[in-house]
Each structure stands twice: as C-alpha cells, then as structure tokens.
Amino acid sequence: MCAGPRGRPPSSRGHAMSYRTVLVHADLSRHAAGRIRLAAQLAKTHDAHLIGVAATGVSRDIFPHGYEAASGSFEASYFDPLHGNATRSLAHFNDIAKAADISHEARLVWDLASDALARQGRFSDLIVVNQDDLDEALAETIGRIPEYVAFTSACPVLVVPCAPVTQQPAQHVLVAWNGSKEASAAMHAAIPLLQRAARVSVVSFHSRDDTDMKDLHYQADLATFLARHDVSAEILALDRDIDGGHALLVMAGQEAYDLIVMGCYGHSQFRELFLGGVTRTVLSGATVPVLMAR
C-alpha cells in the first residue's frame, strides 16, 4: 500500500541541499582507490571540500601530543614504517583528488583508524569508508569501522561495498523506514542525495500489529515531508513479518537500487558494539553503497 503527499507542499526548487565537507578514509588497502574516487565524485557533485584521513593505527593515547622518536631508536624502527604507510596512503589520495579537480586536503593522524575518522568526522557532513573486508591483510583497518564511526560521530556514514561500484550511487535510492529516530536521522542525512536521485522509494516491512504504517495519513505525512525538500518518493508499506535486512538486500538487487539508506541500530559498551540484526545483515551483505546514521 502506498500514499502520495498530503496537501500542497511549498517548492524549494533551485535550493538543493549539499554536503559541504566530505571525509574519506585513506589507506593502502585494495579497496582504497575505488573508495576515494567515489568520495571525489560526490565532492565534485556537491562542490564540497574533500578531506583524506590516513591513520597510523597507533592509539592517540600512546602519543597524545604527537610522535617524536630519535632516529635509529627502537621506537623509530617500529613507528616510522607506520608513518610511512600513512604518508603513501595520502599520496595516493592526493593523486586521485587532483585528477578530479576538487578542493581537497590530506591529514595524517596518529590514532586508530576508527577513532581518527570518528573525531575528524565531527566537523564533516559525510564520512566515506569501506565495508569491512575480513580477507584484507591490513589488520589495523579491520575492526568494524563503519558502525564504530556511526556510533561515535554525529556524522552520517557512507559505506562503500567491497564489490565494485561502477557508477556514482544515489540515482535509484531505497530508504528503509520503521519510524525510529535512527531511520529519521538517516533519511534527513540523505536529503542532499535524495534531491538529486531519479527514483526514491521508502519501504517499511511491518508486522500485522504495526498501526502507524497502515495509516494512510501517516504515509502521506512522510511523503509530504520529502516533497517539501523536492524529493518525489514512493512510499511502500509492505505487510510482511520477515527478516528486514535480508528483504532490503533482495529488494535492492531485484529492483536495481544503487543506494540503501538506513538507520544504524544497536548499542555500545566501551569499544564493544552490539548491532541490531538488520544493521548487521545489511552491512555484511550489501553489494551497493549504504548510507547510515543514528
């Protein structure tokens, strides 16, 4: 069942929202070039400033005031190669950003990659990272970076899949909706992308006792909110008591969506993250980019 906008929304045509600062993880992994190119494409589309962040993989608690070690010392023999890896990562970032002809800067941070991105991302509009690749040899890049950054930074996170992305995403967007604050945060964060999309579908897989999404006025309010941002969206309320994460992935594949927008669900305790089932399923199985927020 679907519903259209309620009433006549005022037009804001010509005033599309944009991301002004985009942050991307720069490292030496096999997925880095594709991730940085996608971030550069987004920055160019939104006339945004692109920041590449390369982390050494050493917690800032070790060097809270920066790194200094005497040349030839035992410390230098261990930490200098890490600094060299980060420097090379930023050189690759600079090459891609220059080729894209965009405003950009490179930042080398003495910290774990997850913490560096979360901290730097607090002054950004969008953070671009990769889906975790457990076959990747760079141990310091493994550690559930996407969800950790989403949990610890107020910035939305665009997770690029390990599968090749052949074009800039967000032409055909699937928005997951369940009425939660996380879903609302993700939808708000995605508006700059939704405004430029050719097709937007908001889908809710709801159980029989979910009264909100069965209410046509509720659906119309959702459509009207998006319409006031110049987003024409199809609202799909599907009466299915099923695994929402798996259903999203199947729907995205069958209907050729190139971006999934969803809330990041779960909770954290110290540095341990306990993800909700839908978040875990989509992050591990997605073959298209996923924008998530909480």
Over the stretch 227-286, which tens digit does the pLDDT of each residue have?
999 999 999 988 766 677 888 999 999 999 999 999 988 655 444 444 557 788 898 899
Q: Does 53 have pLDDT greater than 90?
A: yes
Q: What is the pLDDT of residue 268?
A: 52
User: Given a cut of 70, is residue 9 above it in pLDDT?
Assistant: no
Nearest to 283 by CA among 150, 114, 116: 150
CATH 3.40.50.620 domain range(s) in the chain: 21-158, 172-293
Could you tell me the strand order of the sheet in which 233-239 lies?
A: 104-109, 49-55, 21-25, 126-130, 157-160, 290-293, 259-263, 172-176, 199-206, 233-239
Paired tokens of 161: 């899949």
Residue 97 C-alpha from the chain's centroid: 19
Structure confidence at residue 158 (pLDDT): 97
CATH number of 172-293: 3.40.50.620
Residue 17 sits at the vertex; the CA angle it makes with 100 and 184, to the nearest 5 degrees, is 115
pLDDT at 152 exceeding the cut of 80: yes
Q: From the options 3.40.50.2020, 3.40.50.800, 3.40.50.620, 3.50.30.30, give the CATH code of 21-158.
A: 3.40.50.620
Confidence tier at 211 by pLDDT (50, 70, 90): low
pLDDT of residue 242: 64
215 pLDDT tier (thresholds 50, 70, 90):
confident
Residue 208 pLDDT: 64
Task: Tell me the three state secondary structure of residue 137.
Answer: coil
Q: Is the pLDDT of residue 144 over 80?
A: no
3-state secondary structure of 203: strand
Q: State the pLDDT confidence band at 151, using cuts at 50, 70 and 90.
A: confident
pLDDT for 62 equals: 83
92-130 residue pLDDT tens: 999 999 999 999 999 999 999 999 999 999 999 999 999
Q: 31-40, 119-128, 149-158, 255-264 — which is least confidently predicted?
A: 149-158
pLDDT of the residue at 3: 55
Spatial contact of 150 and 286, defined as CB atoms under 8 Å apart? no
* 210 pLDDT higher than 70: no
How would residue 6 be classed by pLDDT, with cut points 50, 70 and 90? Answer: low
